[in-house]
Structure formats: C-alpha cells, structure tokens
With several copies, the nearest count.
Chain A
Amino acid sequence: MTSFTKPHIRRKNEPVNKLGLVRADYDGAMSTLCAGCGHDSVTASMARAFFELSIEPHRAVKVSGIGCSSKTTAYFLREAHGNNTVHGRMPSVATGAVAANSALTYIGVSGDGDSLSIGLGQFVHAMRRNVNMLYVLENNGVYGLTKGQFSASADLGSLAKRGAPNEMPPIDPVSLALSVGATFVARGFSGDREQLVPLIKAGLKHKGFGLIDVISPCVSFNDHKGSTKSYAHTYQYYHKAVHADYVAPSKDIKVCYDEGEIMPVEMHDGGVIRLRKLEKGFDPRDRAAAMSALANAQKNDEILTGLLHIDETHPDMHALNKMEDRPLNEIPYAELNPGAAKLHDLQKGFR
C-alpha cells in the first residue's frame, strides 16, 4: 500500500519523514479534552513517534477503552482505524485484532481507571500473552470522565480535590507488569516529551507487549496541592533511570556500540534500542533488578521513569501460538477449506 490522501496544507521547509509526510499528517480530530490536560500532550507525543518512525498512518491501529484518556485515539492518526471499545476491555479487543493481522502496528490507549479497576484482569492477561502492541496507560490517579473519583493508582495519602486523603495502597502498573512477566515496561511523564517520544518509538518497535505508564495530570480534578499526580508533584519527584531511543535498522548501528554509556538492545526488526543509563549499574534487561530499583525509588519517594525493563527473548503471542507470518485475515479461503472429500474422510471415525 503506497497511496495516500495527500496532506492539504504544508508549510515551507516543513520537516518530512521517509514517507514524505509531515507531522500534521499524523494528527486526528480536534481534542475535546480540558485545556491543559496531560493526555493532550501524550497524544502529541504519540503522533510524533509515529511520524518519526515513518509508519504509514493507515497501517496503524488505535484501540482504547472508555475515559478521557481513551478518547484520545480519535485525536491522532486520522487515517488509521480506531476502535474505542467498552470500559476496561480494550486489551481483549486488541488481542483479537492483533491475532487477526500481525502486519500492522498496534497502539492501545487507556487510563488508570480503565486499566487498573474494571480492566485489571484483561490488562494483566494481555501482558501475560505478550500481545504485540504498545499499551499507553495515561495515569492521572483519578477517573477524569466521571468527575474525579480516586482511581486504584491514587497514591497513599494523596489528597482528593475536596481534601480527603486516599488510604488504600496504589496499584502501580509498572510493578504489576514486572510481577506478571511483561516484556517491555516503561514509565514516562506527559510533561517530558523529550523522554516520552523515544520511549513510544521503542515500545512500538518492541515485538511483544510494551507498557508505558505515563503520568498525565488531570487539570480538572487532580492537579491541586496535595495530589501526588499533579504536574507540580511529578516535576518535583520524577527521576529518570534509563533513556531509551530506537534506531532503525541500518549499517551504522554497530558503530554506536562502543559509546561508553550506551547499551544496545537488538530488536526483532534489526533495529536497536539504545539505552542511555542514567542510574548507575542498572540493567533493564534484568527483571529482578528492575523490581528492586523500583522498590528503592518508592522508598525515596521518587517516581522512577524511563525504560525499566525489556526482554526481547520471550516469544510474543504469535510465536507462542506458532502462527505463520501471513496475517490470518489474508489467508485465502481456498487454503482454509478442507473440501468435500476430506469431510467424507474425517467422518470415517464416526461410523
């Protein structure tokens, strides 16, 4: 597929990607979120990542649940199919969609309510299956769309807008993901696109389930003093562990290997994720290490961000199911139909 609806207006000298598309070609409908909502920044980062990776928009698929966060799939990649499913159940729809056609790039967008309460089971099981998709969890500690109830990611002691503290331990998507064996686990912040865009790119290129937990403040219901998911609090406490950047397959890749601080992780497509260690001695390929880094950060009240764990060796859902490369939806019926004679044969055992 190479045909495109050409972008309408293009500024002079506007940067184009390998497909000749400009960043605006990766936009979607106008956002209806609140002005200043963290989610809008994440949307912009996602669009940019697709742009920079030169993915044809119509070869991407966007899936989401229900919530302010989940709405955002309408606000980028207008030329990609979107599926705004039901509350908390996006992972299953994504699983089916990915199963049907492995040749597209899948991005799921969800919220902390969508993923950690009603959707917890599906979220965990999609990670367990290592479905080949990137899952962006826009985490604001509240239910935005239903007007500000605490979500399960609300931190102990975080204050609600009306002043009541949350007293239940938070479910941290990153710890959870590590504990159930997810193969790409990262955390970002909507306010730091410089970190986030490369993470999204790496996640999109990871073969298997990629989780990025993005702290994405809700300006309407959880951005006040005392909230631990506010812009102010996140800026103050967040801590970058590992910077990850995806480098597309090319001859020069090997050259990078020598740079002191850089650790390369080879991807299935021949590309490489370059990890720049910011935390001494921390190797995101070691799951146990990631867990203890996380535990330490929690003790120090730090919000650990960056690529926290990657495992390129574990087979993804397609490999686990021994599926052939060709998408299921492209196998011609003639190959699927055993035919009348075979039907007769098969029934010999029924006599």
Chain B
Amino acid sequence: MSEAAINDFVIKLANVNGTGSASANGLLMKAIFRMGVPVVGKNVFPSNIQGLPTWYEIRVTEKGYRGRSGDVHFIVAMNAETYERDLAELSPGGVLLYDNTWPRPHFLTRPDIQVLGVPFARLCNDAFKAARSRILMKNMAYVGTVAALLNLDLDVIHQLVREMFSTKPKLIDLNLQAIALGYDYAKEHFDCPLPFSVQSRDNTAGKVMIDGNTAAGLGCVYAGATFGAWYPITPSTSLMDAFAKYCDQLRVDVDTDLHKYCIIQAEDELAAAGMIIGAAWNGARSFTPTSGPGISLMSEFIGFAYYAEIPMVLFDIQRVGPSTGMPTRTQQCDIQLCAYASHGDTRHLLLFPADPGECFEMAVQAHDLAERFQTPVFVLSDIDIGMNDWMVDELTWDDSYQPDRGKLLSTEELEKIEKFHRYLDVDGDHIPYRTLPGTHPKGAYFTRGSGHNKFGGYTEDGQAYKEVVDRLRAKWHSAASKVPAPVISPSKKKACCGIISVGSCDGAVLEARDRLEAEGLHLDYMRIRGFPFSDEVEQFVADHDEIFVVEQNRDAQLMGLLLLETDVPREKLIPILHYSGEPLDYQFVYSALQEAARVRKIA
C-alpha cells in the first residue's frame, strides 16, 4: 500500500452503466493527461447494457508507471448498490465522495477515511428539466467536484467538453453548466484541493492515449489489409469498429464513394474464419478479431489453414474463460489453446503485445508473418490492453515499409518455371511457394485439408503424408527467430533469478521488480513477445536458477508452453498467477514475488 501524494494517487469512480458515466470519467482522465501528468485508466464494466455496476479507475502517476497500483485513495461512490464494497476498498486516509441528495437509513462509514457528500441529484434536478439530462448531468457535476478537489485545470476541462460535443454544440453549455454546479459546490463546502491533487507537469509530451483495439485496427490498415470478417463479440468488437472507421476515412474514393476494402459481419465465428481464409488464399490481406469462444469455434478452420498452409491473422482479445465466463473482465487464458488450436498435430505462431503501441506494430508483423510462413498467426491481446486507453508513445510509421508477401509467385515467375508444385520445399527453408488463382494456368493447384503429398496431390500414403507434416513442423520451428524477440530488462545488479511474463502483465511486473530491487531483491526480467520461443528465451531460462512466471490465468499456461517447448527444468519455474479478471496491479506481483522469494530462500 502506498500513500497518496501530489500526482501520485488512485481515484476510482463507481457508477451504474448506461448512465453516461464512461465519457465523464474519460474526460477526467484526459484532463490530467493534458496537464502533463501520466495516467493509467481502467474501465471495469458489466456484461449488460444498463443498470449494473461499473467502475472506472484512474491512477495518476507522475513517474509514468503503466500498471495498476492496487490502492484506491479517492472513491466517487455513485452506485448505492456497490457502496459497501467500494467503501471497503478505500485505503486508510482515503476520501469518499457520494451523492447525499437522499438520506441513507443505515449509512456505513469508516473512521479512517473522509466522507464528502454532494447532492448531485438535487443540484441537477433543480438545474435541468429533461429527465435524461438530469441523469446524464450528474456525471458532469461530479466531474466538476472532482476537478475542484483535485485542482484540475478548468480550461483544459472546458476545452475537452468543447471537443467532445463539437458535433452537437448545443450540449456544450449544458455540460459546462453541470460541471460548474459540482465545482462551485465543492469550492463552497470543502477544503479544496485535497492533500493529494494534480499539478501540471510536462511528462506526457510525445504521448497519446489510445486503446489497443483501435491501435490494432489502425495497424491492419497500415499493414495493407483489405479484408476483414468478424462476428461481434466483446471485447473484440471495437477492433473491427476501428478498422472500419479508418477505412471509411482513408480508403473511400471521394468522387465515386467506392471502397478499397471489404468488411463482412459474418453469421458466426466459423464463417468469419472461413472468409478470411478464402480472402487470404486469394491474395487479400485479411484478419478477424475475436475472443476465446470464437477461437474455440474457429478451431477446425485453424487446423485447415495450418495444414493447407494458408495465411490467417487472428486477434484474440482475451476475456475471462472458460465458456462465456466474464465477457467484460480480463485474463490471458487462451495462450495454450491458441498455441495448439485444432485437432491433430498443429502448432501456431503467437504474438503478445503488451500495450496499444505494440498492438499497432504487431498487427503489421502478424500480416507479414502469416504470409511469410503461410500459416495462422494469433495476436493475443486482452480486454485490459484492448479496451482501456493507455498512455503510449505516439505511433510512428516507417514510410519505407513494404509488406512481406512471402513466397508468392507472380505471373512472370510462373511463366519462367517448368512446373509448379505447391508443397515442395524448393529452397530448403521449409516454406513452399504459393500462387494466386487467376494468375497463370501453371500456377493452378488443388488446396485440400485432406492428405496430400509434397506436390500437392491427394495421398493416403504414410510416407508421403509424413514428409509434408515433418516439413510443417520444421517450418513452424524456423519462425522462432522471426517472431518479435523477447524484451529483456536486466536487473541493476547481476541476478541469479528472473521473471518471465507476457502482455498486459508488463507494467505491474516492471513496477514490482523495481520496488523489490530498491529493497535489495534483484531479478532479471524477460517479457515474451512471440511463440515459438527464440534462442533468447532458451538462453534466459538457462541463465537463471529460478524463474517466476507471472501471468493472468489459473493454469499457468505460459509456464506450460515453456515446459513443453524449451529445455527448462520444472523446478526452476515458479508460477505467479492472477486470474480474478481485474487488470493486474503491481502490489499483487510484488507480494507474490516477495513471498515466493522468501519461501525459496532467494536472497
């Protein structure tokens, strides 16, 4: 637990969903960001449309930490139903703000916190006529109160309101009025600002606030993907929404209104998988965003793409499984499934972005790798990365980039060669050449998921069959050096032990590691970014005596891959597992590492 301080505290807003709170909360976060102070925002929302508890947590972190902290210093408790729980979560010395319009019969409180009441409902009922406004404006009213209490820059807030409603200018004044209501009430009744508050800095220059799904959608645009198929599923929907938005903006001919892309809302995930396979087979870069249940449903097709060697790019925005699970909560629970999805001997390429910046980059890499290796490639994101706004370096682009279309024979090349065989390892690199329909009569071949020999012919012969699947395994293995390399962050002093982690665990792990380091526990850290594992991964496990594997699932799935695919002995690996569905916080990792180090007697 850590004390709240200037530019270093956590505010949590407890709301009911469907009441318009999300944009108000986003506005608060953006205001702090624009004041030059780094923020970490987590939106925890229910799996329905209206009426259930939702939370928005904003960590203000001058040092620019990227994970949750685990503390809550300031709660805006707008939801009576979760009030008790919200109250309990508040750190000692914290502040609770609530709507005191109606007296509460059994009002719970704690002696170690400060409670502030503002009659938001009454203020809004008095000020606004329309029923809908009265509900919506309560949110803006607490924004005003919070702004006063945290010393937020009102100009910044007003500017944000104007941008937010630029298309509905009538609403600007209404919202500004509501903000003023809350602001003025606070100034009048409370000591403003609180001891912890925000002071302007210049720590967010060159940064943007973006969510991973938007970044990945944008990445697909830059990758030159022209076809996307999907079936709506939380939390992957916004990825396709982003792709559609940017295509609409960038790829529609202004004169003719004609599109240079095609997006299809499929009838289900099986169909979405089939469509992107069809399009990729026919030479259009394609992708599908989905989540766990979608991967289960696509399993048969994934095996087909693997065996028939068709590029396939899948974004799995992971949510809490198994089954429908908690669709709006985060986990990293599809790692094992994606690594080996489908029946028979199958193995795939995985990319693990840790933030929206990497979602953008890896979206591009996924397309390159899928075409280079003619195989399914999974980008394993999650709700935390995908749907929360993260502060990251502004995305950049290298204008010299050219898509790697892999070993694709052109009409001219086909013209030259004697005879084309689809599955022949001509170059000894385990990757055969492919051709597109329509390019040349010589290029024709028959794609099938049934037994085929290296020439592409149907076979039921054991040796001919083996030859192809043996090459497939070798091809998969050769991708180890081509998937994104792990990021290794050595400890300041030489360390005998290490941490391995992945994806959205990164911020919390880095922070926990730094804090432990400050206390004298030195740990090297490797974040895995690709599968199959490269030599660096092997080296890291070889170089350390004990390795903590931090991940967000129950069954230690990443650790499982390490056991299966590297030479690491089991005794070296110590799982640290978080799977409640909330984004990981550094305190969890810190305590777990500390405890594990104690038990294992690591210096």
Q: A residues engaging B (CB < 8 A)?
A: 1, 3-5, 32-35, 56-59, 61, 63, 66, 68, 71, 73-74, 78-101, 103-104, 117-118, 120-122, 125, 129, 143-147, 149-150, 152, 220, 318, 321-325, 328-329, 331, 333, 335-340, 342-344, 346-347, 350-351
Contact = CB atoms under 8 A, between A and B. Distances in A.
B516 interface: no
Interface residues of B, number: 94
B198 interface: no
Contacts of B231: 117-118
Contact of A92 (B258, B265, B271, B438): B271
Given A33-B50, A99-B227, A220-B18, 11 more contacts: A58-B441, A82-B444, A83-B448, A89-B271, A96-B274, A100-B283, A125-B271, A318-B262, A336-B226, A337-B222, A343-B395
A346 B396 CA distance: 11
A86 B415 CA distance: 31
- A71, A90, A328, A344: which has the most chain B beta carbons within 10 Å? A328
A98 B394 CA distance: 37
A220 B447 contact: no
A34 B282 contact: no
A339 B399 contact: yes
A88 B259 contact: no
B264 A61 contact: no
Nearest to B226: A328
A48 to B, nearest CB: 19
Interface string B531-567: 0000000000000000000000000000000000000
Contact of B278 (A4, A80, A100): A100
A248 B54 CA distance: 47
In the A-B complex, the 10 residue pairs with the smallest Cβ-Cβ separation, listed nearest first, are: A96-B278, A92-B274, A329-B283, A100-B284, A96-B279, A118-B268, A96-B275, A100-B282, A81-B437, A350-B208
Given A324-B253, A329-B284, A117 B259 contact: no
Contacts of B208: 347, 350-351
Nearest to A128: B267
A91 B301 CA distance: 13
Given A35-B50, A96-B274, A143-B232, A83 B281 contact: yes
Most buried by B among A91, A122, A329: A329
A66 B449 CA distance: 10
Interface of B: 18, 33-34, 47-52, 207-210, 218, 221-222, 224, 226-227, 229, 231-234, 237, 246, 250-253, 256-284, 286, 293, 300-301, 304, 323-324, 394-399, 401-403, 411, 415, 435-450, 458
B224 A336 contact: yes
A58 B415 CA distance: 13
B267 A95 contact: no
A117 B246 contact: no
A85 B47 CA distance: 16
Contacts of A338: 221-222, 246, 250
A330 B519 CA distance: 59
A34 B51 contact: yes
Contacts of A104: 437-438
Given A328-B262, A346-B218, A145 B50 contact: no
B267 A121 contact: yes
- Residue of A86, A93, A143, A145 ringed by the most chain B CB atoms within 10 A: A86
A172 to B, nearest CB: 16
A86 B441 contact: no
A121 B260 contact: no
B276 to A, nearest CB: 6
Given A81-B437, A96-B275, A328 B284 contact: yes
A67 to B, nearest CB: 11
Contacts of B266: 92, 125
